[in-house]
Chains A and B, each alone.
Chain A
Amino acid sequence: DTGVSQNPRHKITKRGQNVTFRCDPISEHNRLYWYRQTLGQGPEFLTYFQNEAQLEKSRLLSDRFSAERPKGSFSTLEIQRTEQGDSAMYLCASSRRLAGYNEQFFGPGTRLTVL
């Protein structure tokens, strides 16, 4: 399987705990994106990387959220001191820029439930 993979697929945690998700993009893709999708809504952009550089962050990405892509390959998204409002599906996508257009390929997502 050469698609985008995400782990874990499901995470249940108690409020106040820290959680970390991992995304492995398609190998030749240099761009990686994180989105959050709450129930009944479309995905909302959180942040994106080009290689290891984090180039853009949404206002949705509060101080409790941090994303890294240390070697320009996989990425991690950490949420500290989780709140019930963090419960959502976290989607990762990757792309490579082709003549000004970047088709994003999505992973299956990590569903977070904060109790």
Chain B
Amino acid sequence: AQSVTQLDSQVPVFEEAPVELRCNYSSSVSVYLFWYVQYPNQGLQLLLKYLSGSTLVKGINGFEAEFNKSQTSFHLRKPSVHISDTAEYFCAVSENTGNQFYFGTGTSLTVIP
């Protein structure tokens, strides 16, 4: 089974500052990688995904992530955060031969005005 580690459980950041949310996974096989965002009392919304090709992927709301195979990482970044980015962010991994998603424990991003 896969395991996904989100190294920071809480990340406070000032509005308009850059942010990076870290994600590492354990796998020796090819995987698909995802970042989801969850607002309070809502389901998960896909921010971006890496399937293959360019290691830098761009998603919605100005987020981007970089896949680093040698470090088994998929860190999420945004150059300038907004108050509305305050939410829980989950990194997820799926083996490309399987159907299960393995989620990290989440990172709570709080944007401070």
**Which chain A residues have a beta carbon within 8 Å of chain B's beta carbons?**
4, 31, 33, 35, 40-45, 48, 55-56, 91, 93, 100-109, 111
Contact = CB atoms under 8 A, between A and B. Distances in A.
Contact of B99 (A31, A42, A91, A109): A31
Interface in B27-73: 32, 36, 41-46, 49, 51
A3 to B, nearest CB: 9
A53 to B, nearest CB: 12
Given A40-B106, A56-B99, A106 B44 contact: yes
A10 to B, nearest CB: 9
A107 B77 CA distance: 25
A45 B100 contact: yes
Contact of A91 (B43, B92, B94): B43
B106 A42 contact: yes
B103 to A, nearest CB: 3
A49 to B, nearest CB: 10
Interface in B66-95: 90, 92, 94
A43 to B, nearest CB: 5
Nearest to B90: A42
A110 B101 CA distance: 19
Nearest to A108: B43
Given A101-B96, A106-B43, A106-B44, 17 more contacts: A33-B99, A33-B101, A40-B105, A41-B105, A42-B104, A43-B90, A45-B102, A48-B99, A56-B99, A91-B43, A101-B32, A101-B51, A102-B99, A103-B46, A105-B46, A108-B42, A109-B42
Q: Chain B CB within 10 Å — which of A4, A43, A44, A109 has the most? A: A43
B105 A45 contact: no
Contacts of A106: 36, 43-45
A51 to B, nearest CB: 13
Contacts of A4: 43
Nearest to A111: B41
A91 B44 contact: yes
A103 B99 CA distance: 10
A41 B99 contact: no
